[in-house]
Structure 1
Amino acid sequence: MSFESTPDRTGPIDPTRSQQVARGILVLLLVLLGLFTLQDFLISLAWAAVFAIAIWPLFRRAKRRWPPGKHNLLMPLVFTSAVALIFVVPLLLIGIEAAREAQGVLVWVDHARQSGVPVPPALEHLPVGSEAATNWWRQHLTDPGDANTLFRQLKPARSVAMTRQLGSQVAHRVTLFAFTIITLFFLFREGEDVTAQMLVASRRAFGERGERIGRQMIASVHGTVDGLVLVGLGEGVILGGAYAIAGAPHPTLFGVLTAVAAMIPFCAVIAVALASLLVVASGSAAFGIALFAFGMVVIFVSDHFIRPVLIGGATKLPFLWVLLGILGGVESWGLLGLFLGPAIMAALILLWREWTAPAGSKSA
């Protein structure tokens, strides 16, 4: 028996309609199988793509200044490590601070079980609800017996179960973050080839319009990073300094929380209000009110003047659609929606403008 290939005497055969349909079904099936296989890592892939798009201009400038060597490993490794440290260092600081606070809470609970806890003077300075809070404290924490009853109601077994569940969630998030960083390294390393392949694929599938939509979405990601991340960090630095001046507890930690909350429009109000209430509760009502007023001014200027220019200016996207994209994206996709939402809105607005443009005019 011979396994040699026989010569093709029929010549090239054009695919029939049924073959084209079968080929399309096969491609769709393979894509669905690939998505099903990677379903637990799709978020990591999306985050890696967002990071790569956001940092790519800086990465290209660095490559032009320091051309890569033979293996092209050093520059991707440096940028990937920098991105990892941006997230790891603050989380470590927060974890260390939380561990210290947890130790203090355990000491406080042990002291409360033995001697009770007297009413703190700060409750008397609350602008609202001072009397009710003071009465509740006297009924539940002043007497050691009442304090023990309250702490027994916390159900330690449930707390242990919640701690285990939290630990498993943290381990899962750490795994996804590690996969994101690994993917980001390969995107930096093979970014030019991946970009060229994506352009070719978009032209073949959608023509010139597909390339325009892709560029519009990439510009939206750049604008969103500038408008959300950079502005949020700026708000955190400014308000962190204000917290320190006003005498708020843990001003650095509150500054970090404010920076994270400020990446979502109007959410920084919660952090500012909490810090202001703590300042008022400590007996400095004037400083607390001044801190809240200053924080509202900073948030108003950032959300109504700076962000619309940075986000909408990159894609000519109206602020209303920027806001809807951000809030709707967060509602649908979580934190990843901060970047996906405006990118989707930018693509839709581009399609709308092209569809409604007068005949013969060119799209912007």
Structure 2
Amino acid sequence: MAERIMMGLLLGGVAAGCIVVLYPFFSALLLAAILVFTTWPIFTRLRASTNRFIAAILMMVLIALLVVLPIGLLASAGVEDAPMVVSGLLHLTAKGLPRPPGWIAHLPAFGHQLDETLQRWSADLNQIGATMQPYLGTIARRILAVLVQIAGGLLQLVIALFIGFFFWISGDALGATVTAVIGRIAGPAAPRLLAVVGGTVRGTVYGILGTAIVQGILTGIGLAIAGVPSPVLFGGIAAFVAVLPIGAPLVWVPAAIWLALSHHLGRGIFLAVFGVVAISGADHVIRPMFIARGAQLPYLLTVLGVLGGILAFGGLGIFLGPVLLGLGYMLTVEFAAGTGEFARPDPEAPLGEI
């Protein structure tokens, strides 16, 4: 009995020591695991064409170009452009939106009604701007704080890429070990549990975050073509709000209205058409295609996951928050579906994909 107690204390002490040592790298380790898991099919194809080491290096370069570089550009452009954007908003709300161009009222058939509608919208927007003006300073500070957190998360993201390199190289052995450990803990429910975990991670990363990133990039491209100032900053904001049910239109719709009322009707029409066809079209085409590869999660969990993840983990929380909340939700649903344990395992569950 005494030997078992001593052994338990020893193992507990070792576990506590490991936690203390790895705690500063917890978010980087978790993000590395998510990145490696979601990109594993790409890695296996590269590995089949080259070898394990070169494939891991190529994956690091690919993730750096697709994730690290855009986040770095967003943080840099945001910190530089945010004060200018806030100053412009203050000037705009103080001056008021311009009246619609005079030629609109002379359009045949509907010109008079369109002119009255635009004037009414202009008055409404001016009233909204006057109401929001006292709070723009606070909003600017919040935006800057988020951008600084995102910039601070770049270091953790670089560490995650470094860790991910070894995860890619040793992925097969790590996957077998994790599968064996979960099998020892969960017993016969392990295949179903692993399938739920894999589907949840894929559904969150591909269906929610992937679509948001695509919409942010498309929004930035559309704003740049239309001549809207600070397209990188607003594209990043569009990617952030794309997890909401309304999403990216919160960015490009006001920009299109601003262009139309600022005597740039052609640019405003172009941005509106581009927003409806390309930006919103991506949400209706890409999101269902990605979500079909994984589990569909409630929007509320995604929103809370992004916001809470940023507060808890900084910039990396954009990825970690929704995945953790979505995983907890799906595991809870699975547990509730059974009688005190997870639902009966599916013998056809894609365990080999985990």
Check the 8 A contact 1:80/1:181 in 2, yes or no: yes
Taking structure 1 as the reference length, the TM-score comes to 0.64
Amino acid at match of 1:326: T
Check the 8 A contact 1:220/1:314 in 2, yes or no: no
Matches within 5 A, 1:309-348: 310-311=290-291, 313-315=292-294, 317=295, 319=296, 321-334=297-310, 335=318, 336-348=320-332
Shift of 1:172: 4.7
Matches within 5 A, 1:17-56: 19-20=3-4, 23-56=7-40
Check the 8 A contact 1:276/1:291 in 2, yes or no: yes
Matches within 5 A, 1:171-250: 172-240=152-220, 242-243=222-223, 246-250=226-230
Amino acid at match of 1:329: G
Shift of 1:274: 4.5
Deviations 1:77-118 (A, max 9, x none): 11112212223432454466568759989xx99xxxxxxx99
Taking structure 2 as the reference length, the TM-score comes to 0.66
C-alpha separation in 2, matches of 1:328 and 1:167: 18
> 1:113 maps to which residue?
none
Deviations 1:285-320 (A, max 9, x none): 786588568747877766677635633x445x4x5x
> 1:142 maps to which residue?
none
Check the 8 A contact 2:68/2:154 in 1, yes or no: no
> 1:80 maps to which residue?
60
Matches within 5 A, 1:265-276: 265-276=245-256
> 2:124 maps to which residue?
128
Check the 8 A contact 1:266/1:303 in 2, yes or no: no
Amino acid at match of 2:18: G
C-alpha separation in 2, matches of 1:121 and 1:131: 12
> 1:65 maps to which residue?
49
Amino acid at match of 2:44: R
Shift of 1:41: 1.7
> 2:314 maps to which residue?
none
Amino acid at match of 1:231: T
CA-based RMSD = 4.6
Amino acid at match of 2:98: E
C-alpha separation in 1, matches of 2:328 and 2:92: 55
> 1:9 maps to which residue?
none
Whether 2:238 is the aligned partner of 1:258: answer yes
Secondary structure of 1:207 counterpart: helix
Check the 8 A contact 1:220/1:346 in 2, yes or no: yes
Deviations 1:115-162 (A, max 9, x none): xx999987434543659989xx9xxxxxxxxxxxxxxxx9xxxx9xxx
Amino acid at match of 1:76: A
Amino acid at match of 2:303: L
Q: Which runs of 5+ in 2 are unaligned?
A: 100-121, 311-317, 350-354
C-alpha separation in 1, matches of 2:128 and 2:196: 55
Choose between structure 1 and 2 for higher RCO, CA contacts under 8 A separated by at least 6 residues. Answer: 2
Deviations 1:338-363 (A, max 9, x none): 22222222222223333389x99968
Check the 8 A contact 1:248/1:278 in 2, yes or no: no
C-alpha separation in 2, matches of 1:37 and 1:239: 42
CA spacing shift, 1:168–1:102, aligned 2, 3 Å: closer
Secondary structure of 1:283 counterpart: coil
Whether 2:335 is the aligned partner of 1:351: answer yes
C-alpha separation in 1, matches of 2:190 and 2:282: 33
Whether 2:69 is the aligned partner of 1:89: answer yes
- Number of residue equivalences: 304
Amino acid at match of 1:340: L
Q: Which runs of 5+ in 1 are unaligned?
A: 1-15, 110-116, 138-153
Shift of 1:63: 1.0
C-alpha separation in 1, matches of 2:92 and 2:209: 43
Shift of 1:45: 1.0
Secondary structure of 1:128 counterpart: helix
Shift of 1:22: 5.0
Deviations 1:3-25 (A, max 9, x none): xxxxxxxxxxxxx5x65455445
CA spacing shift, 1:208–1:132, aligned 2, 3 Å: closer
C-alpha separation in 2, matches of 1:233 and 1:214: 27
Percent same amino acid among aligned pairs? 23
Secondary structure of 1:248 counterpart: coil
CA spacing shift, 1:284–1:324, aligned 2, 3 Å: same
Shift of 1:179: 1.5
Check the 8 A contact 2:256/2:271 in 1, yes or no: yes
CA spacing shift, 1:78–1:37, aligned 2, 3 Å: same
CA spacing shift, 1:237–1:344, aligned 2, 3 Å: same
